[in-house]
Amino acid sequence: MTVLEAREVVSGYGEVEILHGVSVRVEEGEIVTIIGPNGAGKSTLLKTVFGLLPCKRGKVLFGGEDVTGQSPQVMVRKGMCYVPQSDNVFPSLTVQENLEMGAFIRRDDYRPKIEEVLALFPDVLERRHTRAGKLSGGQRQMLALARALMLDPRILLLDEPSASLAPNMVDLVFTKILDINRSGVAIVMVEQNARESLKLSHRGYVLAMGQNRLEGSGESLLNNEEMGKAYLGG
Amino acid sequence: MVRPIAGAAQLVERARHFFSALPDTVIATAVWLFFAALVIWAITSEAQLLVIGIIVGSILALGAIGLTLIYGIMKFANFAHGDTMMLGAYVAFFILTGQVARTAREDAELPWSIGSLPGALDHIGKLTFGYGLIISTVVAAVVIALLLVALNRLVYRPLRQRGSSIVVFAVASLGLAMATRALMLIIWGPDPRVYVSGIHMADKYNLGFTTITLKADQIFMFAVAIVLTTLVYLLLFRTKLGKAMRAVTDNPDLARVSGIDTERVFTWTWVIGGALVAVAGVLLALQAQLNPNLGFVLLLPLFASTILGGIGSPQGALAGAMIVGISQEVSVGIDLSIGGTDILPLAPAYKFSVAVVIMIFMLLLRPQGLFGTKA
Amino acid sequence: MKADRLLTPLSFLAITAAVIIMPAERSGWNFDSVISFLTAFATTVAIFAVITLGLNVQWGYTGVFNFGIAGFFMVGAYTAAIFTKPPAESEFVRYIGGFGDSLAFLPFLDSGQWLPFVFGTAAAALMSGALAFALSIPTLRLRADYLAITTIGIAELLRAVVLEERGLVNSARGLIGIPRPFHDFFEPDDYKFVYFGIAVLVLIVVFVAAERGIRSPWGRVLRALREDELTTAASGKNVFAFKMQGFILGAMIMGIGGSIYAYERGSISPDTFTPFFATFIFWAMLMVGGSGNNKGAILGAYIVWGIWTISLQLQGYDMPEFLRSRIFFVRDMIIGSLIVIVLLLRPAGLLPEERKVSLFIGRDTGSRPREPTTEPEPTGEPPPGGR
């Protein structure tokens, strides 16, 4: 079943159009990676899907339901959670409080969920009463992921999860992403680190200049020659 | 012509870099030490100054707690804060006495007001006011809270939705400040008023090495300041709403992304801020007087307290207010000569300028304040 | 929208009509009195327009958020006064300076009538500029709202100094008997037209200088700076130096305005330079007229001062006592609310900035197209330090 679908989405900032009709699909339980050069519209796509940007034309379907243009607050309630690229934790709140914020709209007792999520990130667990601002970059990224998991989302939207992380942290983050996916959460992520992210993705999309360029399984994109030259780089 | 100017600017910039490179704790410690020195000096030479400083600090603290909440969460400098405090005081006055100005000399009075209730004006113990003022303050708090929520809906939210910068908000709040002051002048006239007329005796307390005079009202103000600071602190750190308020202060975008209804948080901020402002205003009027011009005058020390303590921190507001209050009173009361020239006391006209100087120093050396964290 | 475009000419006409008809009616349609009134009105508009132009240079062009206009205005006025008045004589009236007599040193052309005033205005500009210079070193790098609070504080501090230091400029009693340029050459009845001419002349000079300045290479850097500080800095321009220059220039203009205010009034005191009358009113003028537009600054001064004057005129009409005694407060309330209404309904003012987006229009009204090389985060909240 298709968890998330963006159909011919046109959007941008103000008068400027960045996406000229992009289509992307995520099936239940998949990891989908979106790659492409800077300015291609990858982050813009995530933000439009999540409702942070107005969708000028096209549709966004979540679990078959048309959710085009709904606000982030609505999306979150439906089971779509988003992790921004930067400024993705509350620095003056403790780890524990950050997670409580993630669970803000839960009506039930969120405490078991906090323990469950923290169990996935032991490094963060042992710092649960530390202010998030004092965590290292990698720990903060973990916390950001953890925060998004608090609502038992069906799908996670990740904007460049490996950005500005040291290489060993990058490995750790991707490992965690795999763990999260194994627990049943679909993942769509935008990444600069094309090679690493495609390795663990079921499928991938290549965007350039606001349009779809390539689509295929993670493996086939990795081996694709045209890609290798233009987009995979290092 | 530009080069010597640019050169001087560079020197100052280098000094600034030096100071901000110093671990923040050094500067914070320096401030606390300075403050401690001030307090000790005051106690040993003229304790009464310290007492007055603490009273002034209490009143500033009440205003600053509301201001720091609004500044931190709504993210703009609310220039209308002082005048809103005074408006709260006037509303309480109206509810208590039912009086408004009719002409320059005469008042019009409602046939009934809270003050008409039996015993409403009788003093509670040594305080100058009775339960009538307390009821009136509660009602005023509700009125002001509603007013601020309405203003948020009519003015600030549309500006937010347009993506306006802090400059727009600041100018708008300044316009509202002027309009509020004018409103108070229209309804109650320019002559100062008091809740309870007459001279009130202060009590003398013997502390062994010195005696201080203190009115019961003033002890009450200090107690209220401590209680309210504690309540706001508990709100922010122990309740869900409070944590959401802190989250919104940190990162409003992320709060929205997490599903928090930021507009609801803003509305609650104005409600709580409004109640705090009204109480602060009543106590200010109790200590000083009801005067439409007092609100704006207080704005500078209020901002100084807020910035000194760290925007968004209630305990910072209290600490900042105490430091500003005590510094102001000490600087105009204590004698200090260095090398034969009289440096202190400053003339009373410079009292609020002390707050300005403190504020500028903090902004240059440690803009996040004593209790704030570096952005 | 049709109605929208008519707003500017309509408001101008409404004010003009009121300002002519009201005094006319009250004086029984006496031509001389109306002309006399209008001249005084227009003179004040010209003086305030000069100050508003100064604010436009500081804010509209350089982007410095100055809430301490009163300080520069006051410094200019007082400097001009002590340069043109004779020295202090009695023990009840004490002030420094008093160069008026000694500056009339040219033996010909009756220099006492104009030379001290030239010096006075020049000194006013220099003193205000110096104040701006002194202020900019510690404060210019502050975030906009901190700068606003600081500048209010400094303006109030200066006012406290004036009030407290009795020997400086006669503290609360103020300075009276400030002479007027060319006064002795004309009949007292004719003088007001002469001064009007002088004020307009100063306004024209300042306007032309500001217009030239903003279209010069220097002005272009300023505008680029306001749009995008980072890029401008990256292209090697010393951002801080440019900001300082704009700030100082604006302050000097305010000082000039202060000087012609002092000559016209003949007496000044610290009460005049309150945050409401000497700072807020100029912001109201600039916002109503159009921030970032020199012509807007002048129009705004006309409209806001028009409202002010009309309210004064209303006092002459029959009205119940309770309204009459409050008319000034109602006026203050109108002007205070006017700014809020302008910001809500017409943030760019009556005359929007030419070819550029006003700082007061939000980002998502489709303002300027931006080529995104990175993808900026959209925010609905006012960002700290953002513009």
Distance CA B57, CA B213 (A): 17
Among candidates C67, C322, C381 on the partner chain, residue whose Cβ is nearest the Cβ of B102:
C322
Q: Give pLDDT, residue C110.
A: 66
What percentage of residues in chain C have a pLDDT greater than 90? 33
pLDDT tens across B318-366, in order?
Answer: 999 999 999 998 888 777 777 767 777 787 788 888 899 989 888 888 8
Nearest to C369 among A15, A53, A84 (CB): A15
The answer to whether B240 faces chain A, any CB pair under 8 Å, is yes
Cβ separation C375–A15 shorter than 8 A:
no
Flag whether residue A73 sits within 8 Å of chain C, measured between CB atoms: no
Question: Does C378 fall in a domain?
Answer: no
Within-domain flag for C375? no
CA distance C121 to chain B (A): 21
Q: Are strands A31-35 and A65-66 parallel, antiparallel or unpaired?
A: unpaired
pLDDT of A61 over the 60 cut: yes
Does a structural domain hold residue C327?
yes
What is residue B200's predicted lDDT score, i.e. its pLDDT? 74
Is residue C201's pLDDT more than 90? yes
Chain B CB within 8 Å of residue A111 CB: no
Q: How far is CA C290 from the centre of its chain?
A: 14
Which positions in chain B touch A102 (Cβ < 8 Å)?
A: 258
The whole-number pLDDT of residue A80 equals 94
By the CB < 8 Å criterion, does B239 face chain A?
no
| Weakest mean pLDDT among A59-73, B16-30, B53-67, B125-139 | B16-30
Structure tokens at A202: 């079921």
The rounded distance, in Å, linking the Cα atoms of B246 and B73 is: 8
**A90 neighbourhood in chain B, CB within 8 Å:** 246-247, 250-251, 254-255
The pLDDT tens digits of the residues spanning A139-171 come to 999 999 999 999 999 999 999 998 888 888 888
Mean pLDDT of C306-325: 81
Question: Looking at per-residue confidence, does C219 or B373 come out higher?
Answer: C219
Residue C271 forms part of a structural domain: yes
Cβ–Cβ gap C332/B76 under 8 Å: no
Instruction: Give the CATH number, domain containing residue C176.
Output: 1.10.3470
pLDDT at C380 over 50: no
User: Ranked by mean pLDDT, which of A135-139, C17-21, C136-140, C248-252 comes out on top?
Assistant: C248-252
Of A50, A72, A100, the CB nearest to B243: A100
A101–B256 CB contact, under 8 Å: no
Subunits with 3+ Cβ pairs within 8 Å of B are A, C
Q: How many CA atoms lie within 13 A of B172 on its CB side?
A: 25
Nearest CA in chain B to C153: B356
- Could you count the other beta carbons within 10 Å of the beta carbon of residue A192? 16
**Rounded Cα–Cα distance for residues C140 and C132 (Å):** 10
CB < 8 Å to A20, chain C: none
Spell out which residues of chain C touch residue A39, defining contact as CB-CB under 8 Å: 372-375
Q: Give the mean model confidence (pLDDT) for residues C356-373.
A: 41
Q: Which of C123, C130, C142 is nearest to C85 (CA)?
A: C123
User: Measured between alpha carbons, how far is C373 from A39 in angstroms, rounded to an integer?
Assistant: 5
Given CB atoms, is B260 within the 8 Å cutoff of chain A?
Answer: yes
Alpha helices of chain C — where are they, by DSSP H? 2-26, 31-55, 69-84, 115-139, 144-164, 166-169, 188-215, 217-227, 229-234, 239-265, 275, 281-289, 294-314, 321-324, 327-345
* pLDDT tier at C354, thresholds 50, 70, 90: low
pLDDT band per the 50, 70, 90 thresholds, residue C66 = very high
Which residues face C21 on adjacent strands? none
- What integer pLDDT is reported at residue C357 of this predicted model? 41
Lowest mean per-residue pLDDT among A136-150, B64-78, B202-216, C57-71: B202-216
pLDDT at B12 over 50: yes
Give chain A's domains with CATH numbers. Answer: 2-232 (3.40.50.300)
Tell me if chain C has a CB within 8 Å of the CB of A15.
yes
Residue C373 predicted with pLDDT over 50? no
Encoded tokens for A117:
């999520």
- Residue C47 has a pLDDT of 96
Mean pLDDT of B105-123: 79
Touching A: which chains, 3+ CB pairs < 8 A?
Answer: B, C
Residue C346 in any domain: the answer is yes
pLDDT at B68: 95
Lowest mean pLDDT among A41-50, B337-346, C66-75, C199-208: B337-346
The neighbouring-strand residues paired with A17 are A12
Query: What was the pLDDT predicted at B28?
Result: 81
A with C: how many residue pairs have Cβ under 8 Å apart? 33
Q: Which A residues in the span 116-135 are in contact with B, Cβ-Cβ below 8 Å?
A: 131, 133
Helix-helix angle C281-289:C294-314, to 10 degrees: 120
Whether A90 contacts B247, CB under 8 Å:
yes
The confidence score (pLDDT) of residue C371 equals 33
Query: Is residue C212 scored above 50 in pLDDT?
Result: yes
Confidence of residue C349 (pLDDT cuts 50, 70, 90): confident
Q: How confident is the model at residue C21 (pLDDT cuts 50, 70, 90)?
A: confident
Q: Which residues of B touch A100 (CB under 8 A)?
A: 240, 243
pLDDT the model gives residue B6: 66
Give domain status of residue C372, yes or no. Answer: no
Is B261 an 8 Å CB contact of chain A?
yes
The distance of A208 to chain B (nearest Cα, Å) reads: 26
Q: Please, what's the b/e burial string for C149-170 (b: 16 or more CB within 10 A of its CB; e: otherwise)?
A: bbbbbbbbbbbbbbbbbeebbb
Q: Is residue C304 part of a domain?
A: yes
pLDDT score recorded for residue B71: 94
Distance CA B370, CA B319 (A): 9
pLDDT at C103 over 60: yes
Chain A CB within 8 Å of residue B368 CB: no
Show which of residues 182-201 on chain A sit within 8 Å of chain C, judged by CB atoms: none
What is the model's pLDDT at position B280?
95
- Cβ distance of C164 and B350 shorter than 8 Å: yes
From C238, C244, C377, residue closest to B253, measured CB to CB: C377
The arithmetic mean of pLDDT across residues C78-95, rounded, is 81
Per residue, the 3-state secondary structure of A53-95, as one string, reads: CCEEEEEEEECCEECCCCCHHHHHHHCEEEECCCCCCCCCCEH
User: How distant is the Cα of C374 from the closest Cα of chain A, in angstroms?
Assistant: 6
Q: Report the residue from B253, B255, B373 with minimal CB separation from A92.
A: B373
For chain B, what is the mean pLDDT? 87
Lowest mean pLDDT, pick from C183-192, C224-233, C304-313: C224-233
Class of domain B24-365: mainly alpha
Which residues in chain A touch residue C364, judged by CB atoms under 8 angstroms apart?
A: 14
In the prediction, which pLDDT does B263 show?
93
Q: Does B15 touch chain C (CB under 8 A)?
A: no
Q: What is the β-pairing status of strands A80-83 and A155-159?
A: parallel
Cβ contact, residue pair C378, A18, below 8 Å: no
Dmax over CA atoms of chain B, in Å, equals 75
Predicted confidence at residue C315, as pLDDT, reads 75
Question: Which residues in B lie closer than 8 A to residue C150 (C-beta atoms)?
Answer: 356, 359-360, 363
The separation between the first and the last C-alpha atoms of chain C, rounded to the nearest angstrom, is 27
Question: C-contacting residues of B 58-87, CB under 8 Å?
Answer: 75-77
Give chain C's radius of gyration (CA, Å): 22
User: Which domain does C84 fall in, by range?
Assistant: 2-361
Supply the pLDDT for residue B5. 67
Residue indicated by tokens 């002469």: C194
Tokens of B33: 């030490």
How near does any CA of chain A get to the CA of C224, in Å?
21
**Quick check: C179 pLDDT over 80?**
yes
Q: Is the per-residue pLDDT at B232 higher than 90?
A: yes
Identify the band that residue C131 occupies on the pLDDT scale cut at 50, 70 and 90.
very high
- Reported as a pLDDT band with limits 50, 70 and 90, residue A97 is very high
Per domain, the residue ranges of chain B are 24-365
Q: How many domains is chain C built from?
A: 1
Residue C209 is assigned to a structural domain of this protein? yes
B179 touches chain C (CB under 8 A): yes
Rounded Cα–Cα distance for residues B223 and B196 (Å): 21
Beta strands in B197-303 (DSSP E): 203-206, 211-214
- When CB atoms are compared, the residue of B244, B246, B257 closest to A84 is B257
CB contacts under 8 A, B 120-139 vs A, are none
Q: Look at residue A191 and tell me whether its pLDDT is greater than 50.
A: yes
- Which distant-in-sequence residues (6+ apart) come within 8 Å of B53 by Cβ? B42, B322, B325, B326, B327, B328, B329, B330
Residues 6+ apart with CB under 8 A from C230: none
DSSP sequence for B44-105: HHHHHHHHHHHHHHHHHHHHHHHHHHHHHHH-S--TTHHHHHHHHHHHHHHHHH-EEESSSS
Q: Flag whether residue A44 sits within 8 Å of chain C, measured between CB atoms.
A: yes
What's residue B199's pLDDT? 73
Query: Using one digit for the tens of pLDDT, what is the confidence trace for B156-174?
Result: 999 998 888 888 898 899 9
Q: Which residue has the higher pLDDT, A14 or A5?
A: A5
CB contacts, 8 Å: A55 with chain C:
none
The ipTM (two decimal places) reads 0.90
Q: Which residue has the higher pLDDT, B197 or A156?
A: A156
Among B70-74, B98-102, C55-59, C134-138, the minimum mean pLDDT is found in B98-102
Residue A234 CA to residue A42 CA, distance in Å, equals 19
- Asked whether residue C261 carries a pLDDT value surpassing 70, the answer given is yes
Residue of A nearest to C371 (CA): A16
What's the rounded mean pLDDT across residues C378-387? 38
C186 vs B312 pLDDT, higher one = B312
- Closest Cα in chain B to A103: B258
Contacts A83 to C, Cβ<8 Å: none
